[in-house]
Amino acid sequence: MVVWMQGAQQDLAAIWMAATDRNAVTRASHQIDLGLATSPNAVGVPVFDTVREYTCLPLGIEFEVIDADMRVFVLTVWDTSIGRPGSTGN
């Protein structure tokens, strides 16, 4: 199960509203959901412990995989053209 934390949902909405290509943001968020739902440990790169970073242009995310609960939490999302915010950690 993929869970977008409230802050990440709000940031995604803000990115979508500001985007010149909203379809690209929609496609990227859908692709992120698919990748995280099917093989979260195979996408992105480790940041630390159970937290990974994944880029699917024009979005980047930081997410945490909790294998025991079969859950993935999207912690942070950003517009790659603006840059990545600091790590949130777990």
Give me the CATH number covering residue 72.
3.30.2310.20
Rounded CA separation 1/64 (Å): 12
Let me know if residue 85 belongs to a domain: no
Let me know if residue 12 belongs to a domain: yes
25-76 pLDDT per residue, tens: 999 999 999 999 999 999 999 998 999 999 999 999 999 999 999 999 999 9
Distances (CA, A) of 40 to 15, 17, 51: 23, 27, 11
Let me know if residue 40 belongs to a domain: yes
86, pLDDT greater than 80: no
What's the domain range around 7? 2-79
Let me know if residue 51 belongs to a domain: yes
Domain count within the chain: 1
Let me know if residue 38 belongs to a domain: yes
Beta carbons within 8 Å of 51's beta carbon, 6+ residues apart: 62, 63, 64, 75, 87, 88, 89, 90
What pLDDT score was predicted for residue 88? 54
> Omega before 58 cis (within 30°)?
yes
Q: How confident is the model at residue 89 (pLDDT cuts 50, 70, 90)?
A: low
Determine how many CB atoms are found less than 10 A away from the CB of residue 9.
Answer: 13
What pLDDT score was predicted for residue 60? 98
